[in-house]
Amino acid sequence: MGSYRICLCCSNTFKSKEAEPPADVRSAFSRFTEGGGIHMSAAQLRRFLEDGQGDGEVASEEAERILDQIRHRRRHHLIGKMERSPTISVEDFHHYLFDEELNPPIRSQVHQDMTSPLSHYYIYTGHNSYLTGNQLSSDCSDVPIVKALQRGVRVIELDIWPNSTKDDIDVLHGRTLTSPVELIRCLRSIKEYAFSASEYPVVITLEDHLTPDLQAKVAKMVTETFGEMLYYPDSEDHKEFPSPDSLEKRIILSTKPPQEYLEAKDYKGKESGAQNGKDSKEEGAWGREISNLKIETESNDKDENDQSEEEDATVDDDLRLSQKTAPEYKRLITIRAGKPKGSLLDALKVDPDKVRRLSLSEPQLEKASASHGLDIVRFTQKNILRIYPKGTRVNSSNYNPFIGWMHGAQMVAFNMQGYGRSLWLMHGFFQANGGCGYIKKPEFLIKTGLNGEVFDPRANLPVKTTLKVKVYLGDGWRMDFSGTHFDAYSPPDFYTRVGIAGVPADSIMKKTKAIEDNWAPVWNEEFDFQLRVPELALLRVEVHEYDMSDKDDFGGQTCLPVSELRPGIRCVPLFDRKGNKYKSTRLLMRFEFV
């Protein structure tokens, strides 16, 4: 029976009909109830899970537990019924399939090997994690840091500067109108929320603009705040990074060591003069562009904002006036940023005796990947590469993360305080591996061939698998949106966009037809996607409401790691523009690999 929603602003009635089981659901129910029975037992549900959904071996106790949960959630339909044995109807079966908690589209547990070096993992990385909004004038606060940690972000970036009286440390975006927040406040919030979403290590990347005495103060502040949670290596140089497993519930620091910061600044001044007129035959165009690209690693990489270095020069003068560094500060750095000299190839050289981190802006990566893609892949097999947004993204927008991921970059740093399709991809990508913030890179980005060959991101690869996606129906908008949100005078006209984000050859979008005047649209449309690199692919899903006279309205989105998709009929929850999950809005879909 349909119900009616009365719109107070007009005389129209909005019909709200509950989604009914589609034909494929009824067919599956009939198939596994042996000859079209009207009730499904726990044993029959077990067969459906194993053979129909491809869930592998399911214990009888697990099937009974699921059936009990279905009955419990649908108990109002069982009132007054005298059932001799616990079973479910086709309507109960449909509601089970359309329940995200009981039938999610991807696995929710950590299932990958976590004992390899950090360089073998993609790491959920934030950029300017302390900003509440845009890059130029928003407030600095610990609130966005807490939100990022609660979402599962594992790398928090803090820009640290002397405060106005030069006796303490502030966190702010230098040379902008952003208001500061005290470093100690940020550190305390990190300690409190570091492991609220994941037990794997939190990396604090420090953008350091401090004098040695303040660096020493940071060292004291960090060690006192984190105590035994803080991890740092026994020696300055190590041949490989520790593993996420060995660093559970630990916090580590990443920045450029103090002495290297000063040397890099000195070298930069010399290089600008020596580079003029020099045209390296080996590097070609790169040799002519190196001074513009300014490949640097972290501690003063803020030419990402195309700003002057006058304030840095003041800090450098303070460094030169003091003969001391901060050895205790230097000793606390686990992931050390190197100091590249000369060409890009020099920056990407792999040292067999030690590991380091290199940072490139998004345009630097685009240029570098065009001519030295294989060298980048080889570098990231052992070392860590961090990518950060270009300086013109003052509104905290983001970029295409797949350029970094397909070259093995572990830290693709995003502005988590913004929103948009790029951030939806980031949110979706890190749903993988139980949402723990660490995803094992594909073997082809870790292994080296017998002759030293590595994965070529620009190679023309064959199709590895085909993903078949069927979009059955959707429901829940009438609970999450007002009756007049999409249209003041009639129910919405929903359509779904479905596609793949990944390497360029795999990326594509398709869409269903629009279903007119229905809060619970039924599409029953199927799409095929041929995938060359399924390990890096994301399934993109967006729902929009067709508007003939204006821009189509947004009705929800999600991105799901293709490698984590559970075959069969699954419930797919949808999220709002900022990545927050709707309470009720969801789709019923089927996934199949052929």
Active site residues: 127, 173
Amino acid, res. 126: G
Burial of 163 (0-12, 13-18, 19+ CB in 10 A): middle
Q: What is the largest CA-CA distance in the chain?
A: 92
Question: At 587, phi and psi to the nearest 5?
Answer: -120, 155
Structure tokens that stand for 353 in this block: 């005796």
Q: Which residues contact 376 (CB under 8 A, 6 or more apart)?
A: 348, 365, 368, 369, 385, 407, 408, 409
Q: Which among 416, 380, 381, 340 is positioned nearest to 155, based on CA atoms?
A: 416
Can you tell me the distance from the alpha carbon of 272 to that of 546, in angstroms, rounded to the nearest whole number? 55
Q: What residues are paired with 204 via a beta bridge?
A: 156, 253
Phi-psi label, residue 5: left if phi above 0, alpha if psi -120 to 50, beta otherwise: beta
If one counts every other C-beta atom within 10 angstroms of the C-beta of residue 51, the result is 12
C-alpha Rg value of the chain to the nearest Å? 27
DSSP string, 191-255: HHHTTSS-SSPEEEEEEE---HHHHHHHHHHHHHHHGGGB---SSS--SSPPPTGGGTT-EEEEE
What crossing angle do the helices spanning 23-32 and 90-97 adopt, rounded to 10°?
Answer: 120
Identify the residue whose tokens are 């594909």. Answer: 442
Burial of 268 (0-12, 13-18, 19+ CB in 10 A): middle
| C-alpha distances out from residue 261 to 230, 255, 264, 379, 468, Å | 23, 9, 5, 22, 52
Helices (H) and strands (E) in the chain, counts: 16, 22
Can you tell me the distance from the alpha carbon of 118 to that of 137, in angstroms, rounded to the nearest whole number? 35
Give 355-379 as a 3 state SS string. Answer: CCEEEEEHHHHHHHHHHHHHHHHHH
